[in-house]
């Protein structure tokens, strides 16, 4: 085989590989997830930091965090929570939420039901965040891989 044929063959194979990697646009899924043309949308990112309540009352703290978990489940069940989770212990940053809302007002309405925040065990810092609309598929996927609840 001539060198030029080999080069053309390699270029053909490379073009197949590149074309195979093109995304397949799903307009129905994009609409369901409220994605823009880039597959993105606005969220409110909530950084949970250690609050000002330093009480040593274990029962009160336990009750507040039970309410915190209940609020997380409420937000997830109502399509308002994309992602949540704690950080490794030892710092002032305790965890995060990515809320499926676009305004701080909507976020604050969801957070005012959180007893760990109400009781000042946690303090939220809200940041508007532009991220992949696909995050809203995470809660359904999580249900399929979660063996037990907290």
Phi, psi of 110 (to 5 degrees): -70, -40
Which residue is listed with tokens 């929570």?
A: 81
pLDDT tens per residue across all 150 residues of the chain: 566 556 656 656 656 655 556 678 999 999 999 999 999 999 999 999 999 999 999 999 999 999 999 999 999 999 999 999 999 887 899 999 999 999 999 999 999 999 999 999 999 999 999 999 999 999 888 889 988 876
Question: pTM to 2 decimals?
Answer: 0.80
Domain map (residue ranges) of the chain: 25-145
Q: Which CATH architecture describes the domain 25-145? A: 2-Layer Sandwich (3.30)
Q: What angle do CA 90, 97, 100 make, to 5 degrees?
A: 175
């Amino acid at each position: 085989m001539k060198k030029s044929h080999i080069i053309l063959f390699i270029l053909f194979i490379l073009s197949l590989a590149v074309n195979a990697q093109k995304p397949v646009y799903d307009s129905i899924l994009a609409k369901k997830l409220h994605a823009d043309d880039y597959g993105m949308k606005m969220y409110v990112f909530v950084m949970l930091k250690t609050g000002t309540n330093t009480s040593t009352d274990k029962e009160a703290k336990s009750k507040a965090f039970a309410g915190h978990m209940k609020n997380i489940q409420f937000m997830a069940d109502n399509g308002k929570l994309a992602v949540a989770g704690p950080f490794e212990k030892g710092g002032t940053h305790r965890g995060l939420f990515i809320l499926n809302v676009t305004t701080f007002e909507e976020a604050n309405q969801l957070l005012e039901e959180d007893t760990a925040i109400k009781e000042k065990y946690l303090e939220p810092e809200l940041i508007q965040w532009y991220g992949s609309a696909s995050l809203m598929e995470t809660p359904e996927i999580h249900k399929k891989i979660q063996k037990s609840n907290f």
